[in-house]
Amino acid sequence: MLWAVLILSLLQNSVLSSIVNSQEALSFQPIASLPVANASKSFWIDTPGANLLGNEGSIGPLTEDADVCIIGAGMTGISATYHLAKAIEKLGLEGSSLEVKAVVLEAREFCSGATGRNGGHLTPYSFFNYREYEEKYGTIEALKSLQIENRTAMAMVSIIQEHQLADVVDLVAGGHLMLISSEEEYASLKEEYLAASRAGLNVGDVEWLPEEDVDRIYGASYSAVKFPAFNFWPLKFVTQLYLLANSSTPHFSLSLHTHTPVTSVTPLSSSRIWSVNTPRGSVKCSHVLHATNGYASHLLPQFGGPSGIIPTRGQIVVMRAATPVNDSWKASWGGLDHYWFPRPVNGSISDHGTEDGKENPVVILGGGRHIGGPAFEQYETDDSVVNTALGEELRAFLPETFPHMFNKGEDAEMEWTGIMGYTSMADPFVGPIVEHLQSGATSGIFTGQYIAAGYSGHGMPRAFSCAEAIANMIIAAIQNKSWSTPEWLPKRYLTKNRSQEKN
C-alpha cells in the first residue's frame, strides 16, 4: 500500500510491523537511554519566550510525597494532569478535605521531548487506514480507531475555544491537504474512503481535488484529498493545559520539576507503594504514570525491543517561502512522504511577521524517511544531532514540489530532531503496566503503575484521549472503584489486550 507510506510518513501499520520485527532492527540497542542533555534547538521550544514553564521546579527542594507521579512533561503527561483535575472537579468535593496531589517529573526542559520537537500537525486521519483496521480488528474497532482521532482533536480544539486560546497556541483550522502521487494511489484512497463511508464513518467533509485545481489554486502538479484538520504550537497548548490543571480545583494540587530525570521506580513497604527515584532525591507515590514515549524502556525494560516501544528519530526543517502564500495555502499538508505547513506569518516575532501578514512565511517540514530504508533511525535516542542526508532531502522537497514558491538551494532557517515511540501495531500502549507485552500477562508486581506511550509518530490526535483513560483509571483506583473501558477507546490499545496484535 504505497499511499499509506505517504501519510506523514509516520503511521504505516504493515510496513512498520515488518520493520520492527526485522533482524536489522534487532541489531540495535533495545533499551532506550534517558533523554540526552544537549538536545538540538527546536522552533517550538527555543523561540524566546515560548517555553513559560521551561525550567520550572528545577532548583530547590523536590516534592517528597504525592498520590500520583507523572514521569514526562509532554502531551501525554500534561494531558493526564488536566484530566485528573477535571475528574476531581466532577467528584463535587465541596466541603470535603480530600486533596489529590500530583507531581510531574521531567528529565529536561518542560515539554522538550517529541511534543516540543514535532511537526505541529493535529490531523485526525479521517478515513485513512480504514480497510487495514477492519481486516485486522473488525468493523467496530476500525471505526473506533478513526473516531478517537476526531474525538481527541475536537476536545482539544474545544478547550482552546472555551478559554480563547486560539491566538496563544496559533491554532489554524485550515484542513489537511494530502497530495496524491499516482493514479494507483488515488484509486486506493478512494476505495478506502468508500469502505469507511459504507461502514458508517462520517466522511462528509472530505473533498477530492483534481490535479488542475491543485495546480491552479496551490501551485503543485498533483491531485489531492482534503479533510478537516488543524495545526498549532503544541508546546504552547501543553503549557496552557498545565496552567488550567493547576488552577482548576483546590482539591487537586500539582507540582512540576523539570531537569529531574527519573532513574528508577522501586517498591516501598509503606502506604505509598512506589519510590520514584531521581538524582535530586525520591518521591513517594501511590500511582505512577510513565508518559515517557520513546524512552519508556529505560525504566521498563520489558518495553525494549520490537514488541515494545522503539525510539525512532524524526527530523524537521524550517524553510522560508520565496513568496507570500494565499489563505487557501494556509492549511496543513502531507503526502509524497513529507508533511508541512506554513506558520501564520503574524503569529510571532521570530516568523518575521507583519501586521498585515503579507510577508513570506516559514514552513515547518518533516518526513523524507524513505531515504534511509525500513529501519531508518530506529533505536536512536540522540536528538542532539541531525542526519545530514535527511536534511538535504528535506531542503530539496519544497522547491521540487512548488517550483514557483520556493527557491532551489535555499538553506533551512532551523533544523532539529526529536524522538518518537514506535510500536509494531503503530498504536499506543495504554493502561496498567504488564510484564509480558504480547500476552498482557501480569503478576501484579507493577500494581499502581501505568503507561500511555508509543503513538508511532501520530500522537497529537491520540495522546490527549489516552491520557484521559489513564487519569480515569487512577481516579477509580483512588476511590476503590472499578474502571471500565470507555466506548471511544480502541480495545487493542489496552496493555492487557496486546495479544490482539495482528501484524
Ligand X SMILES: Cc1cc2nc3c(=O)[nH]c(=O)nc-3n(C[C@H](O)[C@H](O)[C@H](O)COP(=O)(O)OP(=O)(O)OC[C@H]3O[C@@H](n4cnc5c(N)ncnc54)[C@H](O)[C@@H]3O)c2cc1C
The site for ligand X (CB under 6 A) is made up of 34-35, 71-77, 105-108, 112-115, 117-121, 261-262, 291-293, 295, 298-299, 314-316, 339, 366, 418-420, 453, 455, 457-461, 463
Which one, 91 or 243, has the nearer CB to ligand X? 243
> Least distance (Å) from ligand X to the CB of residue 373?
18
> Least distance (Å) from ligand X to the CB of residue 139?
25
The CA distance from 360 to 358, in Å, is: 7
Chain CA centroid to CA 423, Å: 13
Question: Which residue type does 167 have?
Answer: D
- Alpha carbons within 13 A on the beta-carbon side of 265: 26
Tell me phi and psi for residue 15, to 5 degrees: -65, -45
Chain CA centroid to CA 467, Å: 11
Which of 313, 256, 341 minimizes the C-alpha distance to 114?
313
Which one, 234 or 353, has the nearer CB to ligand X? 234
> Least distance (Å) from ligand X to the CB of residue 493?
13
Which one, 286 or 312, has the nearer CB to ligand X? 312
DSSP E strand boundaries for 106-222: 121-122, 176-180, 207-209
**3-class state of residue 67 by DSSP:** strand
Which one, 241 or 291, has the nearer CB to ligand X? 291
Which one, 193 or 341, has the nearer CB to ligand X? 341
Q: Which residue is nearest to ligand X (CB)?
A: 459
**3-class state of residue 350 by DSSP:** helix
Which one, 174 or 199, has the nearer CB to ligand X? 174
> Least distance (Å) from ligand X to the CB of residue 394?
11
> Least distance (Å) from ligand X to the CB of residue 479?
26
For residue 61, give every residue at least 6 positions away whose Cβ sits within 8 Å of its Cβ, in sequence order, or none: none
H or E element in which residue 274 lies: strand 274-278
List b or e across 446-485, with b for residues whose CB sees 16 or more CB atoms inside 10 angstroms. bebbbbbbbbbbbbbbbbbbbbbbbbbbbbebbeeeebeb
Which one, 91 or 155, has the nearer CB to ligand X? 155
> Least distance (Å) from ligand X to the CB of residue 4?
16
The CA distance from 117 to 419, in Å, is: 8
Which one, 308 or 457, has the nearer CB to ligand X? 457
> Least distance (Å) from ligand X to the CB of residue 91?
26
The residue with cell 530532531 is: 417
CB 451 within 8 A of CB 112: no
CB 363 within 8 A of CB 401: no
> Least distance (Å) from ligand X to the CB of residue 80?
9
